[in-house]
Structure 1
Amino acid sequence: MGRGVEVPVESPGPAFPRDLPPVELRMLGPLRLCRHGAPRELPASRKVRGLLAYLALAPRPVPRGQLCALLWDVPDDPRGELRWCLSKIRRLVDEPGAARVVTAADTVALDLSGCAVDAGRVALAARRGVAALATAELRALAGAFAGEVLEDLAIDRSPAFTAWLTAQRRRFRACRAALLEELVGRVPDDERLGLLEPWLALAPLDPRVHALLLAALARQGLAREGEEHLAAAVRLFEAEGLDAAPLDAAWRAARDRREGAPPARAAAPEAGRDDAGPPAPRRASVAVMPFADAAAVIGSRGGTAHALAHDVITRLAKLRTLLVIAQGTVFALDARRVGPEEAGRMLNVDYVVGGSVRRHGARLAVAVELVEARTARIVWAEVFDGGLDATLEVLDAIGDGIVASVAGEIEACERNRAILRPPHSLDAWEAHHRGLWHMYRFNRPDNGLARHFLEVAVGRDPTFARAHAALSFTHFQDAFQGWAPRERAADLAFAAAGQSLMADDRDPAAHWAMGRALWLRGRHAQSLVELDQAVALSPNFAQGHYALAFVHSQTGDPEAAIASSDHSRRLSPFDPLLFGMLGARAMALVRLGRFEEAAEWGMRAAARPNAHAHIQAIAALSLALAGRLDEARAHLAVLRRDAPHYRAADFLAAMQFAPEGVRLFRDGAERIGMG
């Protein structure tokens, strides 16, 4: 059953449906409702209309208690008032055989299957990516905006609803801007001005819009209008404390192109320099906007929400893999009431993190979204929840979850984007992520391709520490999997890790790579020192915690291995190396003699995508030690299907167990004839 707007409520097409849907809800402007094409008068109650809009935009069923807290301050009978409002909505949308207000298990949902919801179409297009839309569909969606979202709707003394409505308006302004931006890039010149003006109204401080508008005016020979717009834009930027020089440069460049003049010469380099130097290496950029506090007094600053944003900014910066906009900048924009999506466009970043903090009795809920700035596409969204009895611990755990998820989702987006680009066109950043895409396939041919792209990355940017670290991992894989002579591959892994440290010894991945390379050389104590340094530099570096679990599971402290494995999985529950995190825990449990637990964790590891032969061996051997011989032999059969000549000696040669661990795993191998 489709509910809310996060599911397709109608088939995409060049225009909105004209076949008179049973219910048509218009929210991109004043709230309007039609039944089979006939307008219906909405109830006078603002709370009924607010509840209708909220349920229409909710992605899933909403608890009744949440709806009561949203719309009523301190009513005598909130649930009674909610029932009354729902009865009014039923009269609007229900019809024989179609009960659209769905109540179940103390939740409420609005089933809009087969209906037309203008905001739903826009939200769906933004989620899929506006670049994928046909031009006619872009025009239809951009033209569907009749004003501000729910512009005639406001509810006094309902701060939670007001905060939600503000967030929705920001969200759909960003969607509209993304639609207009994509459309501007496709239409001929004579249509652009008509699109640039509403886009500019949505994003008056976005220098790209001004540059496009100035270019359009220049191409049409409207020099006076261009000068007037430039003067007004400069005054606006200067009043906001922003640099207006790029606007003037954009106008001069557009005018020169119109007049056929040669481009203006670059400013002379600073004294004492031969040239301006190479451009800074590209990195994905992210802005973390201060979270909204639903309980805060309007205009107030500080508190839990702002502290959490500051913490996330600091932790993301410690990962060293992203360009993170400084706290002062994002907090200054927030003070000017600039929303996350508009801030992302002003700052010209790739991604924006925004969210809200809400207290429900003795619990704290933090809703977070990661948005692709230029397309307004929501890449990831999650709600983190915890008790307020230990606020600092809860905030620390929530911060861990946000940072690890944001970093992981951005990396996945960048990998997927890089794999679609022609190989010859990749810059260092893209080549690095193309390499990661292949590296995480965990097979020999892809590992070779990964090494090729990572060598391209470090060749184009020798200072790219993270690419050197990943290159080291491809050599580690060659040694660990037996795809190349172990000693030679270990030397190459060590050398690449050294290059990573020289490039940036504050990057946790550089120490992670060195720790793994030292482990290959049998220098376990030094390996742990490097891995401890990796997680000290960035406590949110999940793969650092996993590598600690891996080393401890064989020759170190098995209890520490279990703790590190658990922590790495909490930080990155969908990590490409999740099978290794689970496998390390299983090996540690074997060393502790807890064979039944080890068998369960080993099977979980073997069930993960891309689990390689050594992981399958952990499952088979753990099951054998637990006495579950039939299951162990079944796992061994799966292993031998992919690696027919695999033996216990291959497993023990790859790992570096202490003598007691070697004895245990040999015993398991003998029980199932794996010798």
Structure 2
Amino acid sequence: IILLPGPNSLYVLSVAAQRGVRGGLADGLAYDIITRLAKLRSLFVIAQGTVFALDQRSVGPEEAGRTLNVDYVVSGTLRRQDKRLAVSVELVESRTARIVWADVFDHKLDDAFLALDEIGDRIVASIESEVEAAECKLAILRPPNSLDAWQAHHRGLWHMYRFNREDNQRARHFFEMAVRLDPTFSRAYAGLSFTHWQNAFQRWDEREPAIERAHDAAGRGLAADDRDPAAHWAMGRALWLRGRQDQSLTELQRAVDLSPNFALAHYTLGFVNCQSGDAEAAIGSSDHSRRLSPFDPLLFGMLAVRAIALVRLGRLDEAADWAVQAAARVNAHVHILAIAACCLAMIGRVQEASELLASIRKTVPSYRIEDFLAAFHLSPEAEALFRDGARRIGLG
């Protein structure tokens, strides 16, 4: 059984007793999750010594939550049946006893260590995203002038994930509030950098100044905490905007090394590689990011990465299918719709492509293929394919 707590940038992970022999698979998995959550840097994690002490006293989840004054409790059970391993996990808000999230993670038991590793990956990524989502919901209900740095950060995330110009501006405001309240808050600098990145990528602001602001905010995040994977993720994105692909990939790989469960870092590695780098690696990164965070707000991007990589590999029918899935996401922005329209046009599905073109025109009436190509850093061969697709549907 695993425990965790919450807001005001203070999250704690602990473990309650499991019936049976000490040192088994459940204990190994619990301790592994403690270590992985600590690497996220956004969570304050209680050390294994306290975990062991509470376990020895047979302290249950509810009592441990009260004893540690935690905001969230995550409890879990591990079962082995035939050649499969299943872990049930439940995230509960301590104050209200409300179940925030629950899931079952199942894996073949051909290799116990591999099974535990993959299940651990998925649990840690899910805990991070579900706690973040819960905190965003709490922050959005509070009056803006009453927010502390942690709450302002999550209010910013709520707006950031709407992927439109107005919400992006609001997100910037709350991230600026967060770093003003806490100048050492590296994650808030990463969020602030992302809003400037969006302004440059979407052309919601003058591109060059926005690129510089994205890089500056990412640098401030690294200065605040150079072991925060989100800070390296932000710098990787900012360097990509500057056209420094190799340096970008180095920063993004550093983010993954610091936290192998950081889905957005895996996704962004795919984003950079899919355009002009290693297309096969981009597909692997896309798939891994979606396994880690299957309901991510950036799922449309993860799907689109796979589509662009498949275009470069000449697998156009597959590319179109993945691009359509990306465009179907409710928060997919205009560049995602353009990827899907062009991919469909490449394989002759012109009617479907034209329907997407109508959506593009409704959202951004002046949108042209040059806007799309200016946003990305595509290889010459990929650029030619997207130009041809655009020509077939009149996205000139």
Calculate the TM-score normalised by the size of structure 2: 0.97
**Does residue 4 of structure 2 align to residue 283 of structure 1?**
no
Paired residues for 1:145-294 under 5 Å: 282-290=8-16, 292=18
| Deviation for aligned residue 1:291 | 6.5
| Structure-2 separation of matches of 1:290 and 1:391 | 22
* Contact kept in structure 2, 1:549 and 1:565, CA below 8 Å: yes
| Structure-1 separation of matches of 2:125 and 2:283 | 20
Unpaired runs of 5+ residues, structure 2, are: 2-6
User: Out of 148, 153, 156, which is 1:427 matched to?
Assistant: 148
Paired residues for 1:285-324 under 5 Å: 285-290=11-16, 292=18, 296=20, 300-324=21-45
Please state whether the residue corresponding to 1:324 is helix, strand or coil: coil
| Structure-1 separation of matches of 2:119 and 2:29 | 9
User: Out of 579, 595, 598, which is 2:316 matched to?
Assistant: 595
Please state whether the residue corresponding to 1:323 is helix, strand or coil: coil
**Does residue 282 of structure 2 align to residue 556 of structure 1?**
no
Q: Which has the larger radius of gyration?
A: 1
* Contact kept in structure 2, 1:511 and 1:533, CA below 8 Å: yes
User: Out of 315, 335, 339, which is 1:618 matched to?
Assistant: 339
Q: Which has the higher contact order (CA 8 A, sep 6+)?
A: 2
Please state whether the residue corresponding to 1:358 is helix, strand or coil: strand
User: Out of 466, 469, 472, which is 2:193 matched to?
Assistant: 472
| Structure-2 separation of matches of 1:388 and 1:288 | 26
| Structure-1 separation of matches of 2:158 and 2:50 | 33
| Structure-2 separation of matches of 1:569 and 1:319 | 18
Partner of 2:211: 490
* Contact kept in structure 2, 1:291 and 1:305, CA below 8 Å: no
Partner of 1:441: 162
Q: How far does the alpha carbon of each residue in 1:105-140 deviate from its partner, in whole angstroms, 9 at most, with x for none?
A: xxxxxxxxxxxxxxxxxxxxxxxxxxxxxxxxxxxx
Partner of 1:364: 85
- The one-letter code matched in structure 2 to 1:487 is E
Please state whether the residue corresponding to 2:277 is helix, strand or coil: coil
User: Out of 387, 390, 394, which is 1:669 matched to?
Assistant: 390
Please state whether the residue corresponding to 1:527 is helix, strand or coil: helix
Paired residues for 1:571-586 under 5 Å: 571-586=292-307
Partner of 2:246: 525
Percent identity of the aligned residues?
A: 67
| Structure-2 separation of matches of 1:481 and 1:463 | 29
Partner of 2:355: 634
| Deviation for aligned residue 1:290 | 4.6
Q: CA RMSD in A?
A: 1.2
Please state whether the residue corresponding to 2:167 is helix, strand or coil: helix
| Deviation for aligned residue 1:412 | 0.2
| Deviation for aligned residue 1:654 | 0.6
* Contact kept in structure 2, 1:542 and 1:572, CA below 8 Å: yes
User: Out of 445, 456, 459, which is 2:180 matched to?
Assistant: 459
* Contact kept in structure 1, 2:61 and 2:73, CA below 8 Å: yes
| Structure-2 separation of matches of 1:547 and 1:412 | 20
Q: How far does the alpha carbon of each residue in 1:16-73 deviate from its partner, in whole angstroms, 9 at most, with x for none?
A: xxxxxxxxxxxxxxxxxxxxxxxxxxxxxxxxxxxxxxxxxxxxxxxxxxxxxxxxxx
| Deviation for aligned residue 1:456 | 0.4
| Deviation for aligned residue 1:374 | 2.0
| Structure-2 separation of matches of 1:325 and 1:640 | 52
* Contact kept in structure 2, 1:288 and 1:312, CA below 8 Å: no
Paired residues for 1:343-362 under 5 Å: 343-362=64-83
| Structure-2 separation of matches of 1:439 and 1:291 | 39
Q: How far does the alpha carbon of each residue in 1:468-517 deviate from its partner, in whole angstroms, 9 at most, with x for none?
A: 00000000000000001111100000000000000000000000000000
User: Out of 390, 406, 427, which is 2:111 matched to?
Assistant: 390
| Alignment CA distance shift 1:611-1:455 (3 Å) | same
Partner of 1:505: 226
Partner of 1:567: 288
| Structure-2 separation of matches of 1:291 and 1:554 | 49
| Structure-2 separation of matches of 1:471 and 1:310 | 33
* Contact kept in structure 2, 1:289 and 1:352, CA below 8 Å: no
| Structure-2 separation of matches of 1:399 and 1:330 | 18
Count of residue pairs the alignment pairs up: 391
- The one-letter code matched in structure 2 to 1:346 is T
Higher helix share: 2
Q: How far does the alpha carbon of each residue in 1:541-597 deviate from its partner, in whole angstroms, 9 at most, with x for none?
A: 000000001000101101000000000000000101000000111011111111100
Please state whether the residue corresponding to 1:364 is helix, strand or coil: strand
- The one-letter code matched in structure 2 to 1:287 is L
| Structure-2 separation of matches of 1:560 and 1:576 | 22
Runs of 4+ in structure 1 deviating by more than 6 angstroms, as ranges, are none
* Contact kept in structure 2, 1:431 and 1:454, CA below 8 Å: yes
